[in-house]
């Protein structure tokens, strides 16, 4: 158990809908990262927040957005969902920026029908 929690574990929704994925980092960790794992694209970095501020962006679609709250938990919002958004979404955390290791949560499996 990495100490990173993600809810929900599974999510099934329809195309065009909007969902919110939640992540609680390890106690004391200020950085939160979101990754997407899909069959065709593999594991890809989406976005990073550090102490409430966006720090880095990867291959994140405009339909997706994220935020980190004062209690350091983070939410990833996915809107206008398409079939291709079906994937495993991971959250990871680390104590600070540019830390040696990121600790991954168990992931949220999203299925868009």
Partner 1 sequence: AQTVTQSQPEMSVQEAETVTLSCTYDTSESDYYLFWYKQPPSRQMILVIRQEAYKQQNATENRFSVNFQKAAKSFSLKISDSQLGDAAMYFCAYRSVGDDKIIFGKGTRLHILP
Minimum Å gap between C-beta 54 and partner 1 is 11
Minimum Å gap between C-beta 48 and partner 1 is 5
Q: Which is nearer to partner 1, 14 or 42 (CB)?
A: 42
Contact mark string toward partner 1, 58..77, x via CB under 8 A: x-------------------
Q: Which is nearer to partner 1, 61 or 79 (CB)?
A: 61
Q: How many CB atoms lie within 10 A of CB 5?
A: 15
Q: Which of 38, 32, 78 is nearest to 52 (CA)?
A: 32
Does residue 93 belong to the site contacting partner 1 (CB under 8 A)? no
Give the 3-state DSSP-derived string for 21-51, with helices as H, strands as E and coil as C.
Answer: EEEECCCCCCEEEEEEEECCCEEEEEEEEEC
**Distance between alpha carbon 79 and the CA centroid of its chain, in Å?**
14
The SS3 assignment for 55 reads: strand
Q: Note whether 15 and 28 are within 8 A (CB).
A: no
Contact mark string toward partner 1, 19..48, x via CB under 8 A: ------------x-x-x------xxxx--x
Task: Give contact residues for partner 1 (rule: CB under 8 A).
Answer: 2, 31, 33, 35, 42-45, 48, 55-56, 58, 88, 90, 92, 97-98, 100-104, 106-107, 109
């Amino acid at each position: 158990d990495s100490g990173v929690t993600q809810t929900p574990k599974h999510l099934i929704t329809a195309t065009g809908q909007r969902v919110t994925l939640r992540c609680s980092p390890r106690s004391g960790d200020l950085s939160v990262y979101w990754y997407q794992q899909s069959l065709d694209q593999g594991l890809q970095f989406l976005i990073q927040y550090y102490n409430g501020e966006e720090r880095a962006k990867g291959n994140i679609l405009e339909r997706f957005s994220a935020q980190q709250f004062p209690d350091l938990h983070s939410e990833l919002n996915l809107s206008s969902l398409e079939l291709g958004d079906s994937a495993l979404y991971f959250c990871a955390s680390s104590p600070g920026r540019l830390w040696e290791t990121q600790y991954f949560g168990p992931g949220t499996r999203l299925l868009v029908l």
